[in-house]
Amino acid sequence: MDKLKVSRYLIVFLTSFVALVIGTDLAAQSTKRGIITGGALHTAPDWFKESFLEIQEDVDEASKANKHVMLFFQLNGCSYCDRMLTESFESEPVSSYIQQHFDVIAINVKGDREIAFNEEITVLEKELSEIVKVRATPAILFLDSQNRSILRADGYRAPERFQKILEYVSSRSYQRVSLVDYLDKSSKQVVYQLRQNTLFKPITDLSKVKGPLAVIFEDTSCYDSMNFTIDCFRTKT
C-alpha cells in the first residue's frame, strides 16, 4: 500500500473518530437527567426534639417528664410522611397530645448522622434503619423507660387511629393488653359512612360496564380507608 492510500485511510479514520466524539458529546449534553415527581418535601415541626442522638439520654429525660420517646423514621420526599405530619403532628387535637406525652425525634432513613441507640449499637441513621428493618416510611418506634421497643407503627395512620395508638402507649396499656385487643375494645362499632360523590355509581352488575372501572372495597371500621377514599376523589373532582 503506497503512502497516498495510507494517508487517505488515516484521514478517513481521524474524521470518523472526531465525528463520533463530537456526536457523543452532543448527545450527552442533550440528554437531561430524570426528575422525580410526586414527592413532598416536609421539614419536621420545630417542636420535635433537637436530640444529640444519644437515645438512652433522651429516654431518661423523657421518663423524668413522664413521657415516652417516639422515633419518627422518615424519608425526604415521602408523600405519606408529609401527609401524616400535616394531619396528625401539626393538626389539633393530636398535635397537642403528642407534645404533652411524647418526645419525638426524627430519623432520616438515608441519613448519615451517628446515633448511639444503646450501649451496644452506635451507627449511622441509615444503618439503624436497616437494623430495625424499616421497609416503608413513615415508621414510628415507641420506646419505654428502659429504652426498649414497645410498639412499632409502619406506614401512614389516619389521625383517629393514630390517636388511639398514642393513648395506648401514653397510658402504658401495653403493660396489660395487646394493641389489637385495646383497639377492639376502644373502637366504635361504626366509624365510617361513604360520602356522597358524583363519581360513585349505584351499579350492581359489573358485566354491563364498558370502559375503565374503579372498584373500592371499604370497611365501616377502617379509618384509613375513609381518609384514602376522600383524598383520592378530592383530587379527581
pLDDT tens sequence across 79-132: 999 999 999 999 999 999 999 999 999 999 999 999 999 999 999 999 999 999
Q: Are residues 95 and 28 in the same domain?
A: no
Domain span at 70: 55-185
**Do 180 and 218 fall into the same domain?**
no
What CATH number does residue 77 fall under?
3.40.30.10
DSSP strand pairing (149-154 vs 139-143): antiparallel
Is residue 47 domain-resident?
A: no
Q: What is the pLDDT of residue 203?
A: 81
Same domain, 201 and 215: yes
For the chain, residues with pLDDT lower than 70 are 1-38, 188-197, 218-237
171 and 193 inside one domain:
no
Q: What is the pTM of this model?
A: 0.70
User: Residue 199 gets which letter from DSSP?
Assistant: T
Is the residue at 45 inside a domain?
A: no
Cell triple for 222: 377502617
Same structural domain for residues 3 and 62?
no
Q: Which among 142, 166, 185 is the end of a domain?
A: 185
Q: For the chain, how many structural domains are there in total?
A: 3
Alpha helix segments (H runs only) across 31-104: 55-64, 79-84, 94-101
